[in-house]
Amino acid sequence: MYNQLKSIARNLLPTAFLKANEERFRRLVALRYAGSTYRCNVCGTGLSTFVRLERGDLLCPRCGSLPRGRRLWHVLSEEMEVRGLKVLHFSPSASVAGKLREYPLAEYVTTDFEGEFTADKSYDITAIDEPDGRFDLIICYHVLEHIPDDAAAMQELHRVLAPGGLCLIQTPFREGDIYEDASIATAADRLAAFGQEDHVRVYSVAGLTDRLRKAGFRVAGITYPPNHLHGWRGGETVLYAEKK
Ligand SMILES: [Zn+2]
């Protein structure tokens, strides 16, 4: 239903119009899904159902949040005290970025190198154009699996964090060891090997933890249980990497 509505709208209406009216369009779509069985904890909307995407992820039709974004928002708003912090957010989802822009942070800087997400900056994560110790919190979700020189990226994340600062990191994970092979370089081959055309590896939790430790971080991984009400996936892992 959601995809049908979206494709009908896409076919009928010019993109600029859709962008300008996205909020109105989402509100209309969300009416169709209104209910009380589920609740998106990002936008607070009650839903009869989430929208199930191709890979099984549950999307909120109102704000567009995915399970990992809803979990992230829960962590930031319920489990951590982020008020007053200087925050750097890589490739931010619109739903979580919207909430953080309203939050009483000391500073909120968004960055996206590829220009896929609406962001303030376009930093190269392997050479971040910011001074040492600039941020208290960095959110780096689903970025490192795109970066060939991930050791340089981790060093940079560590460098721009203040001592005691925290970097929240997530990527797709596999069991066992990290799977990477620099000779796999075409989009089609990367899709087949790593699950997405622009991914250069698949981490394991242990493998990424090890690399982050080598970059100087103290690392704890938390794997969360599912939550029916909020449409959170079970088995989702977030790495909390702290600058000692
Ligand atoms: Zn929502």
Instruction: Using the mean position of ligand 1's atoms as its centre, give its distance from the Cα of residue 42 in Å.
Output: 5
Residue 108 has what pLDDT? 97
Amino acid at residue number 234: G
Q: In this model, does residue 93 exceed pLDDT 90? A: yes
Mean pLDDT of 175-196: 94
CA of 1 to the centre of ligand 1 (A): 17
If you measure from the C-alpha of residue 177 to the centroid of ligand 1, how many angstroms do you get, rounded to a whole number? 35
- Our measurement of the distance from residue 35's CA atom to the centroid of its chain's CA atoms, rounded to an integer in Å, reads 26
Span between the terminal Cα atoms of the chain, in Å:
49
What residues sit around ligand 1, an ion, with C-beta below 5 angstroms?
Answer: 40, 42-43, 60, 62-63, 65
> Tens digits of per-residue pLDDT, 14-27?
566 666 677 777 77
- Helix spans in 33-149 (H): 67-74, 94-102
CA 239 to chain centre: 13
Query: Which CATH class for the 67-243 domain?
Result: alpha beta
Q: How far is the CA of 30 from the centre of ligand 1 (A)?
A: 9
Domain with CATH 3.40.50.150 in the chain: 67-243
Helix (H, G, I), strand (E, B) or coil at 78: helix
68 CA → ligand 1 middle, Å: 12
Q: How confident is the model at residue 82 (pLDDT cuts 50, 70, 90)?
A: very high
Q: What is the pLDDT of residue 68?
A: 94
Tell me, in angstroms, the distance from the centre of ligand 1 to residue 231's CA.
11
In the structure, what pLDDT confidence band is assigned to residue 7 with cuts at 50, 70 and 90?
Answer: low
CA 244 – ligand 1 centroid, Å: 35
85: pLDDT confidence band, cut at 50, 70 and 90?
Answer: very high
pLDDT for 11? 59
- For residue range 124-142, list pLDDT tens digits in order: 999 999 999 999 999 999 9
Residue 130 near residue 165, CB atoms below 8 Å: no
> Residue range 44-73: average pLDDT?
93
Phi/psi of residue 222, nearest 5 degrees = -120, 125
Determine the pLDDT at residue 174.
95
- The CA distances from residue 222 to 138, 142, 164, 168, in Å, are 17, 16, 19, 11
User: Which of residues 2 and 122 earns the better pLDDT score?
Assistant: 122
pLDDT at 15: 63
